[in-house]
């Protein structure tokens, strides 16, 4: 499948069958998430892989009643950072020094950019970090499709309840997006064979 075939193959699954996604494929999707670009490479988020059935049940009852939660093989939660602590900022600089074998002085530009992000007020920072999770979402969906794994991006959940279930309170994290993974239930998912609905190319893209 080329990339466009892959994008046509994928859709946001409403019903999954009971087949489990192999650990190899999950690892590839998680690695794609880790490699996703983020602003300055700050990766101001935490990624949770949820496979525990009791936890999935609790999420299905208290945060998201959509059937994908009950039926998926694995669930990924992208939780955005509420702030950038000094510790994280120092780790960011150290990671750059170690990975690229460069001096701290050579990273002064990156450090001042990161400091300007750190100074944002809380709601502005969270807005910024949540937007970073959407980039990761796009990469995860493409990676899943390339592995022929079905994935549903999900915002339709109670984020506060999710924060409580996942014990995020006081950890500087806020639930942003869910990605349900599994395999489409062709028989019970009305969307399984329905055509894509998108704006026409000329309407959507303007060449200047
Ligand atoms: C940020 C975001 C949040 C979404 N939330 C949900 C959701 O909560 N439940 C759901 O079934 N689909 C959800 N979707 C799927 C969209 O409805 C779907 O991507 C869109 O209708 C296009 O269809 P397709 O993905 O099947 O091609 C979401 C998509 C995005 C990008």
Please, what are the domains in the chain?
A: 3-204 (3.40.109.10)
Which residue, 25, 1, 8, is CA-closest to 183?
A: 25
| Residue whose structure tokens are 């046509």 | 8
**Mean pLDDT, residues 17-43:** 98
> Over the stretch 73-97, which tens digit does the pLDDT of each residue have?
999 999 999 999 999 999 999 999 9
What pLDDT is attached to residue 135? 98
Cβ(29)–Cβ(143) below 8 Å: yes
Q: Locate tokens 């022929």: which residue?
A: 148
Q: What is the pLDDT of residue 118?
A: 96
E strands, 56-159, are 74-81, 150-154
In the numeric block, the tokens 């990761």 are attached to: 136
CA distance 185 to 162: 26
Q: How confident is the model at residue 15 (pLDDT cuts 50, 70, 90)?
A: very high
The pocket around ligand 1, CB under 6 angstroms, is made up of 11-12, 14, 66, 152-156, 196
Mutate to test the pocket of ligand 1, among 152, 158, 196 (most ligand atoms within 8 A of CB): 152
Q: How far is the CA of 96 from the centre of ligand 1 (A)?
A: 35
């Amino acid at each position: 499948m080329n990339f466009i075939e892959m994008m046509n193959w994928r859709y946001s699954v409403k019903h999954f069958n009971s087949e489990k996604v192999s650990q190899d494929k999950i690892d590839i999707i998680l690695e794609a998430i880790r490699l996703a670009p983020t602003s300055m490479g700050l990766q101001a988020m935490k990624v949770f892989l949820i496979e525990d059935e009791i936890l999935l049940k609790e999420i299905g009852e208290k945060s998201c009643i959509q059937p994908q939660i009950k039926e998926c093989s694995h669930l990924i939660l992208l939780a955005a950072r509420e702030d950038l602590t000094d510790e994280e900022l120092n780790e960011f600089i150290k990671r750059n020094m170690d990975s690229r074998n460069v001096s701290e002085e050579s990273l002064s530009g990156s450090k001042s950019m990161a400091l300007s992000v750190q100074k944002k007020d809380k709601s502005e920072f969270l807005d910024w970090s949540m937007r970073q999770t959407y980039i990761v979402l796009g990469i995860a969906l493409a990676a899943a499709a390339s592995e022929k794994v079905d994935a549903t991006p999900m915002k339709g959940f109670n984020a506060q309840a999710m924060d409580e279930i996942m014990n995020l309170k006081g950890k500087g994290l806020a639930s942003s997006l869910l990605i349900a993974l599994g395999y489409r239930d062709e028989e019970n998912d009305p969307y399984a064979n329905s055509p894509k609905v998108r704006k026409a190319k000329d309407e959507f893209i303007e060449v200047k």
